[in-house]
Structure 1
Amino acid sequence: MMNNLALALEYLRAYTVWRLTSAPGESSTEPPTLPLFDADEATVFTSLVAQTQLSEVELIYLMVALAPHLQPGFFDALIRDCLPDGGEFPEFGGVRGANHRGLLPTGETALYILAGNDLQKRLALYDLLSPKHFFAQERIIALEGPKPGEPHLSGRLIPHAEVMELLITGTVSLPPFSMEFPAEHIQTAMEWDDLVLHPNTLQQIQEIQHWMTHSETLLHKWGMRKKVKPGFRALFYGPPGTGKTLTASLLGKSTNKDVFRIDLSRVVSKYIGETEKNLATLFDKAENKDWILFFDEADALFGKRTDIRDAHDKYANQEVAYLLQRIESYNGLVILATNQRANIDDAFVRRFQAIIHFPMPRAEERLRIWRSTFPPQLQIADDVDWLQVAARYELTGAGILNVAHYCAIEALADQSYLLTLPRLEKGILREYAKEGKVV
């Protein structure tokens, strides 16, 4: 017994044969009947058909786009069998690829299979290929733009790469960091209990969690979608090492969402138009994925603006405007991070639902971090007074972790497995030197 995807492909085969063998302008026989799919089949294809409630026409259109990806010689074999004398067949459309040797369907191919040469039927189906149709809106199928001067429907029908991967493998792999996708997938093994923040900061983080839990109800069931923009935008600011990146990672972990860190310093290009192109690629990939986007070093693009003195200033403002537009239309959580709030132009502040300060930890917070950071296998000497250490040395959580790492390695190296005050102070002084501080 064939699965539903195979049934749909065979249905397209039969329908295409019926179209190719019908006399021009008439149909001597009835078209093949839509097969009865197994509604209980647990496959991605079955779920896609059920969730989108595809009509018969939409199903055929979808299968036209998928066919050469499932069976490379699909259309060539049909044309060869139905038209053994060969010759040109411009009505059928289709193009040849650079490496792929089979026929690749175009918009013309889909319309011919669905409507033949009936102009009225063809015109009625144009909406199917429109950018406003859900196939395009949900990034399932795209109609490639035509070559200059060629008919509008001569562009290829291209199923989205992620749709193909999902149909074939059942999953969609996360994109790797690259020049085309300048974002790094970040994760953490830590839990909320491992994160020590100022109470005010924690309270504001909880507000973001509340939005992540209840946004669907607010927007759809309570009807606020008409009044508020989708998504949530937050600004994290504070010194390095105070927990901004870890907080973003934990928000993703606790809600089972993927988090991607984007370093804007890598996205921004000196070449006009390249920054927008890089950002467009990023947001197009993230669309409808419910990812958390974490923009590190946000002041690389959102810094204080200056008067427009030349074309570069003008285009810099256009880059900011473009990023703001894409951030505001993104329906997930976007977090921008900076070390100094003063570096962010005040004109952008109103765009954020939350502006959260990550201050240097106070003595009581440092005490909690010191006590929880060292591995339990390391014995703490009697001369180590955590209360005194926390009060005396001002370090971030990341700085304390660096000290713990150094001390643990040294204890393993000399096989003492003991943390003494001299060793601890040596580690602290090393960290101070790295940060350019003096005791």
Structure 2
Amino acid sequence: MKQLFNILKNSFEYQMHKAFGTGEDMVKPGVELPKDESDPASPLFRFIIERHLDDRDVLLLLLALVPHLSPSYLVDIVSGFMPGGGEFPLFGGVKAKNHRGILPTGETALFLLAGEDMENRIQATDYIHGTSCLFRKGILSLEEVLLGEPKMSGRLIVDEEYVELLTTGNILKPKLSANFPAQLLETELEWEDLVLNDKTLSAVKEIEVWLQYNDILLNEWNMKGKIKPGFRVMFYGPPGTGKTLTASLLGKYTGRDVYRIDLSLVVSKYIGETEKNLSTLFDKATNKDWILFFDEADAIFGKRTNVRDAHDKYANQEVSYLLQRIESHPGLVILASNLKSNIDTAFSRRFQSIIDFDMPTYAERLQLWQNNLPKNIPLTGEVCLKELSRKYDITGANIVNIIQYTCLRTIEQQQKTIRLEDLINGIKKEYVKEGKML
């Protein structure tokens, strides 16, 4: 990796010599990648080769990464030409609260690519804002600055997941926080564990087909200009009928991360904050191959109301903003709701698919009982799964909770069989939780 960063050093030293008038006979160094066996094995080198990065993108990527690997790198370059200290605004860069070195800005990038030549700096600015694949894909970005300050004075930022990927080869998955209101959904279950009717399963299969073949449709079939990006799906049905598990399995079997949006961190009572929170989320997800899952989406995607006061006005603006962001998002967005009627019809018209998760039928409940009961612990003779399936109209989630309760009771009592009494008590608990009479 050291050889890669020598490329950055040579380019900076060339521009510094030019700026200080000491490099009249110098030839601008090219970006020559190392040919020995050490650097080519690094994640950073592989990334550069696999993405076919332009020379300018190679320099920009190295510049954005260097503070994470060598805090004194940029300080050493400047102090080598200014040993007595002083200001050198052309170099750009800012100080941070904790980091003791120089953090590169867009101005640092312009100096690296174009020195002090005005025309070349304009071309470099245009490259960064329009051509660079690193900026277009959100791998690099410029921090927003205060109104009136030059946009290129914002910090040059590399996406934190790519810092980990390019240095260690590992992918750092974002964690739930105030800055990232979503949580990774994972499951150890298989498709066989999901019990749905044939109509629902067929509709779910359509989503899987889109995930598998969308790139071919858009790029190889040249349908980009005719078909809107992304795929929008609505799951509706009672709690516990498999909506979340379906989203998890779609991610598991297509190799995509599924993030469940925590609406409590998204929705804000302060005007404009909800839109800001969602904008941050969608911006981060735009260039990732993620599935976004909005559970209990009624809270934020509900019907717009007649405007009676300022609160109604801004609530409607939030819904309109969400509609626009979801419609332009290039990935899969799943909205889950208990009732289809709770969702604004403006959203419904824009869904590619609306999938009904019904309460399980008798046959499906029987299959759920059979699938989830432990295989190595027998049932007492009085337990009839067919009778339980016929008599109690409950969901798959209810059945899993009942089985968990019953198994713990069986272990506690040191029983060797699962008893009907414990199963019935578990059923009663589920009915009480939902305010239903047994």
Q: Extract unaligned runs of 5+ from structure 1.
A: none
Distance in 2, Cα, partners of 1:106 & 1:429: 63
Q: Is the 1:18–1:32 contact (alpha carbons within 8 Å) kept by the matching residues of 2? A: yes
Give per-residue Cα distances to partners, 1:226-270, cap 9 Å, x unaligned. 211122111111111111111111111111211111133442111
TM-score by length of 1: 0.92
TM-score by length of 2: 0.92
Distance in 2, Cα, partners of 1:346 & 1:78: 59
Give per-residue Cα distances to partners, 1:126-152, cap 9 Å, x unaligned. 213326632322122223344444444
Paired residue type of 1:18? Y
Residue 28 (structure 2) pairs with residue 31 (structure 1): yes
Call closer, same or farther: CA 1:57–1:368 in 2, change over 3 Å: closer
- How far 1:6 moved relative to its partner? 2.0
Q: Is the 1:186–1:249 contact (alpha carbons within 8 Å) kept by the matching residues of 2? A: yes
1:196 corresponds to which residue? 195
1:217 corresponds to which residue? 216
Paired residue type of 1:153? M
1:326 corresponds to which residue? 325
2:2 corresponds to which residue? 6
Paired residue type of 2:239? P
Residue 260 of structure 1 aligns to a residue in which SS? strand
Paired residue type of 1:107? G
Distance in 2, Cα, partners of 1:37 & 1:400: 60
Matches within 5 A, 1:70-109: 70-109=69-108
Residue 384 (structure 2) pairs with residue 385 (structure 1): yes
Paired residue type of 1:11? I
Question: Which region of structure 1 is more displaced relative to structure 2, 409-418 or 57-66?
Answer: 57-66
Call closer, same or farther: CA 1:430–1:75 in 2, change over 3 Å: closer
Give per-residue Cα distances to partners, 1:33-83, cap 9 Å, x unaligned. 433434982432123322443333332333233333322122222222233
1:166 corresponds to which residue? 165
Distance in 2, Cα, partners of 1:25 & 1:130: 31
1:394 corresponds to which residue? 393
2:275 corresponds to which residue? 276
1:111 corresponds to which residue? 110
Distance in 2, Cα, partners of 1:96 & 1:245: 44
Question: Which region of structure 1 is more displaced relative to structure 2, 201-210 or 258-267?
Answer: 258-267
Distance in 2, Cα, partners of 1:409 & 1:387: 23
Distance in 2, Cα, partners of 1:430 & 1:83: 75
Distance in 1, Cα, partners of 2:433 & 2:142: 55
Residue 211 of structure 1 aligns to a residue in which SS? helix
Distance in 2, Cα, partners of 1:34 & 1:66: 17
Distance in 1, Cα, partners of 2:431 & 2:150: 67
Distance in 2, Cα, partners of 1:393 & 1:162: 47
Distance in 2, Cα, partners of 1:275 & 1:152: 25
- How far 1:25 moved relative to its partner? 10
2:372 corresponds to which residue? 373
1:50 corresponds to which residue? 49
Paired residue type of 1:385? C
Q: Is the 1:65–1:158 contact (alpha carbons within 8 Å) kept by the matching residues of 2? A: yes
Distance in 1, Cα, partners of 2:129 & 2:252: 38
Call closer, same or farther: CA 1:83–1:217 in 2, change over 3 Å: same
> How many corresponding residue pairs?
435
Residue 224 of structure 2 aligns to a residue in which SS? helix
Call closer, same or farther: CA 1:237–1:30 in 2, change over 3 Å: same
Residue 295 (structure 2) pairs with residue 296 (structure 1): yes
1:15 corresponds to which residue? 11
Paired residue type of 1:34? V
Distance in 1, Cα, partners of 2:426 & 2:114: 77
Call closer, same or farther: CA 1:149–1:179 in 2, change over 3 Å: closer
Give per-residue Cα distances to partners, 1:211-240, cap 9 Å, x unaligned. 122212212111222211122111111111
Paired residue type of 2:16? L
1:309 corresponds to which residue? 308
Q: Quote the RMSD (CA, aligned, Å).
A: 2.2
- How far 1:348 moved relative to its partner? 1.8
Distance in 1, Cα, partners of 2:423 & 2:102: 70
Q: Percent identity?
A: 49
- How far 1:26 moved relative to its partner? 7.0
Q: Extract unaligned runs of 5+ from structure 2.
A: none
